[in-house]
Amino acid sequence: MSVRRYWQMLVAPLDGPLFGFSVLLLILATVALASAAPERLSAHWLNLGVALAVMRIVAQVPPQRLMHIALPIYVLGLLLLIAVALFGDVSKGARRWLSLGFMRIQPSELMKIAMPLMLAWYFQKREGLLVWRDWFIATLLLVMPVALIARQPDLGTAVLVFAAGFYVIFLAGLSWKVMLGLLGLAAAAAPFAWNLLHDYQRQRVLMLLDPQQDPLGKGFHIIQSMIAIGSGGLFGKGWGQGTQSQLDFIPERHTDFIFAVWSEEFGLTGNAALLILYLLLIGRGLQIALAAPTLFTRLLAGALTLIFFTYAFVNMGMVSGILPVVGVPLPFVSYGGTALVTLGIAMGILMSIQKNRMLVQK
């Protein structure tokens, strides 16, 4: 009884199911991290605390207020991206960070949230008045930051930010015909895009087609993570027993490739559990989107949920060798403070939308 009451107090401003699924995923992340990189656990606890606090705080912010900040945040993000392009720090050949003296920030991370906010706000403003020009403006709002991020170059983030914005446009009802037409256009433009890619990016794509061609170099990682997954079998080798992970064959085994560790140690059973958990969380998100009271909240909730799905799909796809290796973390599971905070904000927004729906209806 009293435990139940404590739980209710804790979860009061949050959405029960969404919070529950998130916490389950975070527990699972901790289990995987304790095996992959136990020395990072203490930092991990701190990240968790910050992410949950952010989630709770954002969950208190009513959607009307989000509407007010959508445009300023987007403009700020865009300006920061331009600043990065002009005088960002170069590290490993990419210009992604802006040095503030005391800390370095990566404005493309901000865009992951700012983009759906902005577009949802725009469609809300034009609700019922949409003409073809609005679709064009929305596309322009989407393409500008994406182009800046792709130029850094940070292909992984560019894809994610593009997806985030595209989902809003899709949910707002862009005609299927237009989308198919654009798809055809993109396919036709692919050869040109290929020429614009950096050498290492081309290599990554080629690696996907035939990882065996460079077994000692870049293809090595994908092969090793596929071995980890495959050798896990039905039930896995047991926690802390994965030879692939423990013997250092898995690259970045606590961040982008943590799924390989999970998969090796818990097998298909563990993977199924993970997939179901993700499905439940995504299902709840879509449910929130369906029930949301305004166009802004509907689009925002739908897009945030789908972007969460995209993270999960792209990461597991790349680790299991069906998608190219781009730097995308496994949501709530990969180690890393920035990604956790971004997800915390996204979940907080979803929760706020859900709670305020009920208030509005009353």
- The footprint of another protein (CB under 8 A) covers 91-93, 127-128, 167, 170-173, 216, 220, 224, 226-234, 243-244, 247-249, 263, 267-268, 271-272, 275, 278-279, 282-283, 286, 289-290, 295, 298-299, 302, 306, 309, 313, 316-317, 320-322
Shortest approach of another protein to residue 302 CB, angstroms?
A: 6
Burial of 16 (0-12, 13-18, 19+ CB in 10 A): middle
First and final CA of the chain: distance in angstroms?
28
Give the SS3 label for residue 250: coil
Smaller CB distance to another protein: residue 35 or 52? 35
Smaller CB distance to another protein: residue 170 or 205? 170
Q: Are 159 and 204 in contact (CB under 8 A)?
A: no
Instruction: To the nearest 10°, report the CA torsion of 127, 132, 136, 137.
Output: -40
Shortest approach of another protein to residue 64 CB, angstroms?
A: 19
Structure tokens at 302: 């739908």
DSSP H helical segments within the chain, as ranges? 2-11, 16-36, 41-59, 63-87, 107-125, 132-151, 155-172, 176-196, 199-209, 218-232, 243-246, 258-291, 295-319, 337-361
Smaller CB distance to another protein: residue 78 or 154? 154
Shortest approach of another protein to residue 187 CB, angstroms?
A: 19
Smaller CB distance to another protein: residue 73 or 155? 155
Shortest approach of another protein to residue 202 CB, angstroms?
A: 18
Shortest approach of another protein to residue 225 CB, angstroms?
A: 10
Give the SS3 label for residue 185: helix
Smaller CB distance to another protein: residue 53 or 276? 276
Smaller CB distance to another protein: residue 10 or 41? 41
Cα 307 to Cα 41, 278, 304, distances in angstroms: 27, 12, 5
Smaller CB distance to another protein: residue 57 or 104? 104
- The closest of 292, 296, 237, 281 to 263, measured between CA atoms, is 237
Shortest approach of another protein to residue 167 CB, angstroms?
A: 8
Shortest approach of another protein to residue 108 CB, angstroms?
A: 20
